[in-house]
């Protein structure tokens, strides 16, 4: 469905000069630096997948999205999406995709949402009948009944994002690109948006590519993640695999009856200790959690034990550190 | 074309949301050129004529160019305001839609308040025409219509050129005003009152001369020689927009390879 | 006073950031001046009788107008201030330890001054070296030049005082559109931007003389070319001063009154 092979892209960036003399010079000759935004990126995405595309700011996420949505032409490499090369058959190709840029709006600010939908219908040449069924469905699942007749400027951020997503689905695309769809939303709206993405993926089989900084989005939606840093592909695989490989640490919190001296358990490092409570960290790659707990019971009289896996957020931070990005 | 009208509709609705400011701006658009025209009138009151041209002849010149200008500012405003579109990054949005970039940019903005300006210049046109001894024929009427339309094409062409510049830099775009506002100011007088090089530049490079000065000679019966050539000059002038469109395509290609 | 100076400095630095915009502005104004001169040249060519201002003086007048355009145009505005008022963020400004009228006055003044400093020199220098008859000329005497400088600065202060009313009016109308329109069109017309004041018919000149607008720009430019003799220039400067005092006083009174209302309304 989506196939990228050896995509590279570099930008020429004009050096900003400070000082009057430098600036005067820049009028005649500008110095440029070449920034490699993408280096030899390849991956394949199958129909019906939800893929989380992650990486720190400036890693090249938006550049990839822009190439995949036909906005940018890469320097080298091939990209085939549903049989099209995005940047070559732009107008034919883009009928098949929907794009949401989380930070920008595609709705007309001063008119009711429904008017924007109508216009999009004409832009994408959607037949009336099809338009009707699609919007009805969208309005129902996204609960837009109340807000569809108010101008966009009166909507809250969460309401607006729901409308944005609906707007990008009016023409029934097969692929949906979501660039930070939950940015700036409150917890309730985030969950609503996630729920909806899941629904359209399951019911309509829409392939979703999602970039985000919120790892909870990824955890809730994507089975597969692609990690990119400094323009290079770093990891491509299952989220569970990523966790297995990098998220092997577990945190054990033990509460017990009072005890005077600190506990000592082989294989676990003590993060904090008090006469009634200890927090331990275990690397499950080398030691079993159950062994640790057995050890614990020999040393203290346990009252309660909780075991937490390392939050995905931490794993990503760790990964970024590891790859020095 | 249908899409273009849809855009028109939605943006009209938008502007109607701010009714007071809409009306105020429309009134303002009426009075700004009105003040300029009053100045013109007062100058003629003092000097009587300008290089042999009488007041109403110049008024006709004025009316034609201002009508073209207001129409182009109303309908091709999308290109005129293109820099803000690029700065906001909304051009990406246009590229992910299955329509030509030209029609989408054209439809991104309309300035309906320019109707005030249009009304003002239409009034001047009527006043000038009713005071000029022109023997009206169908061809002369057609020529007059051609003059206004051709002007719209030329102004639009300049907007497109300026918009294309935005793909490289959004700074210093003010220079384009020399050709839009400046062209308008220049062409509100018959071109032959200026130095030769000015006349030539605005006839052959940016062909404002073909919009009013040359066909005006025909309308007033001042031309010597081929009528047909003078009638067709507006058509020749509108060709100006074609290379502009070509440059625009180049600009879009550049944008898509650099993404600046 | 120090606050005001630092505001000016900030503005100048800020303005320097937009060099290419300034350059484009210079080019535009240069072209504009050229065009207007050519039109007047054509008008003057066949003019039968002598005109109230000679072409030479007029050309100087036009170049000065172009060089100091920001001293003339009312529409050169600070939309930041408009937003401040209409969005209700004015509360922040009220917390500042300066009087609002003075602070805004300084801000607007700095804006115009910095913009003029960046733009006037290239235009002036260039216009001196133009071939005849398009070139700009020196003032007839040093004293005329000094008078011109005084009148120009007073004119600038006067213009800022006028434009303050624009911002004050926004407190009432909540939209700058209407006031900008009236001030813009009337102001520019009576400041001689569309046709120079000396070329107006006498009844219009009488109106122009009564209104404050022509004292901002038209008057200093004619002092420069010597079109207004020095004795009259001194009287003119006195008139400028009176206008300035009256307008600043009026502005402050009305601003304070409106601010009190704003505070009472709590918004």
Q: Do C20 and B169 touch (CB under 8 A)?
A: yes
- B54 near B133, Cβ under 8 Å? no
Question: What are the backbone dihedrals phi and psi of residue A78, each rounded to the nearest 5 degrees, phi first?
Answer: -120, 155
Residues of chain A contacting residue B18, judged by C-beta atoms under 8 Å apart: 110
C144 has a pLDDT exceeding 60? yes
Q: Is C182 on the interface with B (CB under 8 A)?
A: no
- Highest average pLDDT, of A13-27, C102-116, C233-247, comes from C233-247
Q: Which domain holds residue B163?
A: 19-258
Residues of chain B contacting residue A91, judged by C-beta atoms under 8 Å apart: 98-100
Q: Do B97 and A66 touch (CB under 8 A)?
A: no
Our CA angle for A288, A294, A299, nearest 5°, is 130
Residue A291 — pLDDT band, cuts 50, 70, 90?
confident
User: What residues contact B139, with CB distance under 8 A and at least 6 apart?
Assistant: B231
Q: Is C47 on the interface with B (CB under 8 A)?
A: yes
Q: Do B95 and A90 touch (CB under 8 A)?
A: yes
Residue A316 placed within a domain: no
- B108 near B83, Cβ under 8 Å? no
Note the ipTM here: 0.87
- A9 near B255, Cβ under 8 Å? no
Question: Residue B197 corresponds to which tokens in the numbers above?
Answer: 């090089």
According to DSSP, the β-strands at A249-256 and A277-283 are antiparallel
Residue C267 — pLDDT band, cuts 50, 70, 90?
very low
Q: How far from each other are the two terminal CA atoms of chain A, in whole angstroms?
A: 30
pLDDT digits (tens, 9 = 90+) for A44-81: 999 999 999 988 887 888 889 989 998 889 999 999 99
Rounded CA gap, C96 and B56, in Å?
Answer: 58
User: What residues contact C84, with CB distance under 8 A and at least 6 apart?
Assistant: C90, C92, C93
User: What residues contact C6, with CB distance under 8 A and at least 6 apart?
Assistant: none
Residue C266 — pLDDT band, cuts 50, 70, 90?
very low
Distances from the Cα of C81 to the Cαs of A106, B53, C77, in angstroms?
29, 47, 9
Bridge partner residues of A10 (DSSP): A36
Lowest mean pLDDT among A10-14, A152-156, B226-230, C34-38: A10-14
Rounded CA gap, B163 and B161, in Å?
Answer: 5
Residues A22-33, mean pLDDT to the nearest whole number = 61
What single string gives the DSSP state of each residue in chain B?
-HHHHHHHHHHHHHHHTTHHHHHHHHHHHHHHHHHHHHHHHHHHHHH--BTTB-HHHHHHHHHHHHHHHHHHHHHSHHHHTHHHHHHTTHHHHHHTSSS-HHHHHHTT---GGGHHHHHHHHHHHHHHHHTS-----HHHHHHHHHHHHHHHHHHHHHHHHHHHHTTT--TTGGGHHHHTHHHHHHHTS-GGGS-HHHHHIIIIIS-GGGTTHHHHHHHTT---S-HHHHHHHHHHHHTTHHHHHHHHHHHHHHHHHH--
Query: Residue B195: closest CA among chain C residues belongs to which residue?
Result: C38
Same domain, A284 and A253: yes
Rounded CA gap, B80 and B179, in Å?
Answer: 12
Residues of chain C contacting residue B43, judged by C-beta atoms under 8 Å apart: 43, 195, 199
Residues of chain B contacting residue C189, judged by C-beta atoms under 8 Å apart: 35, 38-39
User: Considering its fold, how many domains does chain C have in total?
Assistant: 1
Residues of chain B contacting residue C48, judged by C-beta atoms under 8 Å apart: 48
- B49 near C46, Cβ under 8 Å? yes
How many Å is the maximal CA-CA distance in chain B? 58
Q: Do A119 and B10 touch (CB under 8 A)?
A: yes
Question: What are the backbone dihedrals phi and psi of residue B195, each rounded to the nearest 5 degrees, phi first?
Answer: -60, 155
pLDDT, residue A18, reads 55
More confident residue, C93 or C139: C139
Residue B7 placed within a domain: no
Positions in chain B whose pLDDT score sits under 50: none
Q: Do B93 and A104 touch (CB under 8 A)?
A: yes
User: Considering its fold, how many domains does chain A have in total?
Assistant: 2
Rounded CA gap, C113 and C197, in Å?
Answer: 24
Q: Shortest CA distance to C85 belongs to which of C180, C177, C183, C176?
A: C176
Q: Do C18 and B171 touch (CB under 8 A)?
A: yes
More confident residue, A26 or A311: A311
Same domain, A238 and A259: no
What single string gives the DSSP state of each residue in C53-73?
S-HHHHHHHHHHHHHTGGGT-
| B neighbours by CB contacts (3+ pairs under 8 Å) | A, C
Q: Do B88 and A104 touch (CB under 8 A)?
A: yes
- C165 near C173, Cβ under 8 Å? no
C-beta neighbour count of A148 within 10 angstroms: 19
Residue B100 placed within a domain: yes
Residue A258 placed within a domain: yes
Residues of chain C contacting residue B49, judged by C-beta atoms under 8 Å apart: 46
Rounded CA gap, A2 and A44, in Å?
Answer: 6
Q: Which domain holds residue A210?
A: 46-243
A26 has a pLDDT exceeding 60? no
Same domain, A86 and A69: yes
Q: Across all residues in chain A, what is the average pLDDT?
A: 85
- B45 near B129, Cβ under 8 Å? no
Residue A31 placed within a domain: no
Residue A40 — pLDDT band, cuts 50, 70, 90?
very high
Of C28, C181, C184, the CB nearest to B177: C28
Q: Shortest CA distance to A101 belongs to which of B203, C19, B95, C6?
A: B95
Torsion from C-alpha of B162, B164, B166, B172, nearest 10 degrees: -30
- C198 near C227, Cβ under 8 Å? yes
User: What residues contact A85, with CB distance under 8 A and at least 6 apart?
Assistant: A78, A79, A93
Distance from CA of A319 to the nearest CA of B (A): 29
Q: Is B12 on the interface with A (CB under 8 A)?
A: no
Q: Which domain holds residue C70?
A: 2-265
- B248 near B160, Cβ under 8 Å? yes
Q: Shortest CA distance to B83 belongs to which of B109, B56, B60, B64?
A: B109
Q: Do B13 and A94 touch (CB under 8 A)?
A: no
Q: Is C51 on the interface with B (CB under 8 A)?
A: yes
**A-B contacts at Cβ under 8 angstroms:** 77
Q: Do A11 and B259 touch (CB under 8 A)?
A: yes
User: What residues contact B84, with CB distance under 8 A and at least 6 apart?
Assistant: none
pLDDT digits (tens, 9 = 90+) for A80-96: 999 999 988 888 899 99
Our CA angle for A319, A320, A324, nearest 5°, is 115
Question: What are the backbone dihedrals phi and psi of residue A211, each rounded to the nearest 5 degrees, phi first?
Answer: -105, 145
Q: Is C201 on the interface with B (CB under 8 A)?
A: yes
Residue A16 — pLDDT band, cuts 50, 70, 90?
low
Q: Shortest CA distance to A50 belongs to which of A181, A154, A159?
A: A181
pLDDT, residue A27, reads 52
Rounded CA gap, C173 and C182, in Å?
Answer: 13
How many Cα atoms within 13 Å fall on the side-chain side of residue B19?
0
Of B31, B43, B194, the CB nearest to C38: B194
Residue B128 placed within a domain: yes
Lowest mean pLDDT among C81-90, C130-139, C178-187: C81-90
A23 has a pLDDT exceeding 60? no
Query: Residue B99: closest CA among chain A residues belongs to which residue?
Result: A91
Residue A208 — pLDDT band, cuts 50, 70, 90?
very high
Residues of chain C contacting residue B31, judged by C-beta atoms under 8 Å apart: 181, 185
Our CA angle for A296, A302, A307, nearest 5°, is 70
Residues of B with CB under 8 A from a CB of C: 20-21, 24-25, 27-28, 31-32, 35-36, 38-39, 42-43, 45-52, 169, 171-175, 177-178, 182, 185-186, 189, 193-195, 198
pLDDT digits (tens, 9 = 90+) for B62-103: 999 999 999 999 999 889 888 888 888 888 888 889 888 999
pLDDT digits (tens, 9 = 90+) for C235-260: 999 999 999 999 999 999 998 888 87
Q: Does the bond joining C133 to the residue before it have cis omega, within 30 degrees of 0? A: yes
Q: Do A90 and B11 touch (CB under 8 A)?
A: no
Distance from CA of A111 to the nearest CA of B (A): 6
C-beta neighbour count of C28 within 10 angstroms: 19
Q: Do B182 and C35 touch (CB under 8 A)?
A: yes
- C194 near C188, Cβ under 8 Å? yes
Q: Shortest CA distance to A309 belongs to which of A214, A244, A213?
A: A244
User: What residues contact A164, with CB distance under 8 A and at least 6 apart?
Assistant: A100, A105, A106, A107, A181
In CATH, what number is assigned to the domain containing residue A291? 3.30.70.250
Q: Do C46 and B185 touch (CB under 8 A)?
A: no
Sheet arrangement for strand A76-81: A32-45, A2-14, A76-81
pLDDT, residue A128, reads 93
**Rg of chain C over all Cα atoms, to the nearest angstrom:** 19
- B104 near A78, Cβ under 8 Å? no
Query: If DSSP states are collapsed to H, E and C, what string results for A89-130?
Result: CHHHHHHHEEEEECCCCCCCCCCEHHHHHHHHHHHCCCCHHH
Q: Is C43 on the interface with B (CB under 8 A)?
A: yes
- C30 near C126, Cβ under 8 Å? yes
A85, A91, A92, A126, best to mutate vs chain B, most B CBs in 10 Å: A91
User: What residues contact A189, with CB distance under 8 A and at least 6 apart?
Assistant: A156, A157, A158, A159, A161, A162, A182
Rounded CA gap, C18 and C37, in Å?
Answer: 29
Residues of chain C contacting residue B177, judged by C-beta atoms under 8 Å apart: 28
Residues of chain C contacting residue B196, judged by C-beta atoms under 8 Å apart: none
Q: Do C188 and B52 touch (CB under 8 A)?
A: no
- B123 near B210, Cβ under 8 Å? no
- Highest average pLDDT, of A105-109, A134-138, B3-7, C96-100, comes from A134-138
pLDDT, residue A325, reads 61
More confident residue, A20 or C68: C68
Query: Residue A118: closest CA among chain B residues belongs to which residue?
Result: B6
A20 has a pLDDT exceeding 60? no
Q: Do B97 and A124 touch (CB under 8 A)?
A: yes
Q: How far from each other are the two terminal CA atoms of chain B, in whole angstroms?
A: 30
Residues of chain B contacting residue A85, judged by C-beta atoms under 8 Å apart: none
User: What residues contact C134, with CB distance under 8 A and at least 6 apart?
Assistant: C34, C37, C59, C127
């Amino acid at each position: 469905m989506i196939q990228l092979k050896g995509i590279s892209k570099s930008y020429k960036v004009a050096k900003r000069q400070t000082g009057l003399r430098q600036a005067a010079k820049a009028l005649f000759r500008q110095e440029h630096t070449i920034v490699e935004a993408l280096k030899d990126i390849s991956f394949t995405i199958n129909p019906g997948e939800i893929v989380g595309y992650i990486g720190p700011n400036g890693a090249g996420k938006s550049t990839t999205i822009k190439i995949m949505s036909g906005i940018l032409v890469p320097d080298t490499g091939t990209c085939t999406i549903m049989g099209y090369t995005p940047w070559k058959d732009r107008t034919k190709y883009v009928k098949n995709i929907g794009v949401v840029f989380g930070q920008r709006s595609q709705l007309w600010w001063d008119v009711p949402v429904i008017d924007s939908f109508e216009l999009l219908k004409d832009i994408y040449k959607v037949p009336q009948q099809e338009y009707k069924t699609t919007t009805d469905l969208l309005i129902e699942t996204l609960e837009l009944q109340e807000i569809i007749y108010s101008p966009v400027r009166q909507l809250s951020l969460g309401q607006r994002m729901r409308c944005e997503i609906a707007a990008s689905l009016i023409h029934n695309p097969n692929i949906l690109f979501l660039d930070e769809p939950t940015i700036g939303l409150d917890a309730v709206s985030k969950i609503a948006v996630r729920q909806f993405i899941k629904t359209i993926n399951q019911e309509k089989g829409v392939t979703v590519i999602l970039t985000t900084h919120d790892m909870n989005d990824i955890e809730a939606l994507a089975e597969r993640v692609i990690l990119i840093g400094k323009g290079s592909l770093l990891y491509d695989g299952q989220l569970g695999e990523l966790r297995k490989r990098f998220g092997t640490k577990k945190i054990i919190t033990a509460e017990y009856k009072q005890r005077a001296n600190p506990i000592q358990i082989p294989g676990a490092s003590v993060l904090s200790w008090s006469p009634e409570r200890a927090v331990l960290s275990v690397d499950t790659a080398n030691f079993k959690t159950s062994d640790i707990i057995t050890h614990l019971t020999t040393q203290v009289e346990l009252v309660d034990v909780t075991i937490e896996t390392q939050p995905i957020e931490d794993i990503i931070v760790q990964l970024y550190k590891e790859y020095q990005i | 074309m249908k899409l273009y009208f849809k855009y028109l509709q939605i943006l009209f609705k938008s502007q109607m949301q701010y009714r007071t400011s809409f009306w105020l701006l429309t009134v303002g658009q009426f009075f700004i050129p009105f003040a300029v025209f009053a100045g013109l009138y007062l100058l003629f009151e003092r000097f009587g004529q300008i290089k042999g041209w009488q007041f109403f002849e110049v008024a006709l010149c004025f009316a034609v160019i201002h009508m073209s200008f207001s129409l182009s500012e109303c309908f091709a405003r999308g290109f005129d305001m293109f820099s803000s579109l690029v700065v906001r990054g909304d051009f990406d949005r246009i590229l992910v839609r299955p329509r030509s970039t030209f029609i989408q940019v054209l439809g991104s903005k309309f300035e309906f308040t320019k109707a005030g300006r249009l009304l003002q210049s239409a009034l001047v046109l009527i006043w000038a025409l009713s005071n000029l001894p022109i023997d009206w024929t169908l061809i002369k009427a057609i020529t007059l219509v051609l003059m206004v339309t051709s002007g719209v094409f030329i102004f639009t062409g300049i907007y497109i050129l300026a918009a294309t510049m935005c793909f490289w830099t959004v700074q210093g775009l003010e220079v384009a005003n020399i050709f839009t506002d400046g062209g308008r100011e220049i062409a509100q007088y018959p071109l032959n009152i200026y130095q030769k090089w000015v006349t030539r530049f605005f006839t052959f490079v940016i062909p404002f001369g073909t919009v009013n000065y040359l066909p005006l000679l025909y309308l007033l019966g001042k031309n010597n020689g081929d009528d047909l050539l003078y009638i067709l000059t507006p058509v020749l002038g509108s060709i100006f927009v074609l290379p502009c469109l070509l440059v625009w395509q180049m600009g879009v290609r550049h944008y898509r390879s650099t993404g600046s | 006073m120090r606050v005001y100076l630092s505001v000016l400095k900030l503005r100048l630095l800020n303005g320097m950031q937009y060099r290419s915009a300034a350059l484009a502005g210079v080019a535009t104004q240069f072209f504009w001046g050229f065009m207007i001169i050519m039109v007047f040249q054509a008008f003057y060519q066949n003019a039968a009788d002598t005109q109230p201002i000679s072409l030479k003086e007029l050309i100087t007048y036009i170049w000065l107008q172009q060089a100091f355009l920001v001293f003339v145009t009312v529409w050169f505005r600070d939309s930041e201030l408009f937003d401040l008022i209409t969005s209700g963020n004015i509360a922040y400004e009220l917390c500042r330890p300066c009087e609002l009228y003075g602070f805004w006055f300084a801000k607007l003044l700095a804006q115009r001054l910095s913009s003029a400093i960046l733009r006037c020199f290239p235009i002036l220098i260039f216009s001196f070296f133009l071939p005849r008859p398009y070139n700009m000329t020196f003032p007839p005497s040093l004293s005329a030049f000094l008078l011109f400088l005084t009148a120009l600065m007073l004119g600038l202060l006067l213009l800022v005082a006028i434009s303050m009313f624009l911002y004050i009016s926004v407190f009432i109308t909540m939209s700058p559109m209407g006031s900008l329109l009236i001030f813009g069109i009337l102001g520019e017309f009576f400041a001689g931007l569309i046709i120079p004041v000396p070329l107006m018919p006498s009844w219009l000149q009488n109106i122009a003389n009564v209104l404050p607008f022509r004292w901002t720009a038209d008057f200093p430019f004619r002092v420069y070319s010597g079109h207004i003799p020095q004795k009259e220039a001194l009287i003119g400067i006195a008139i400028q001063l009176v206008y300035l005092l009256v307008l600043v006083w009026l502005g402050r009174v009305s601003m304070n009154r409106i601010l009190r209302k704003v505070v009472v309304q709590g918004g």
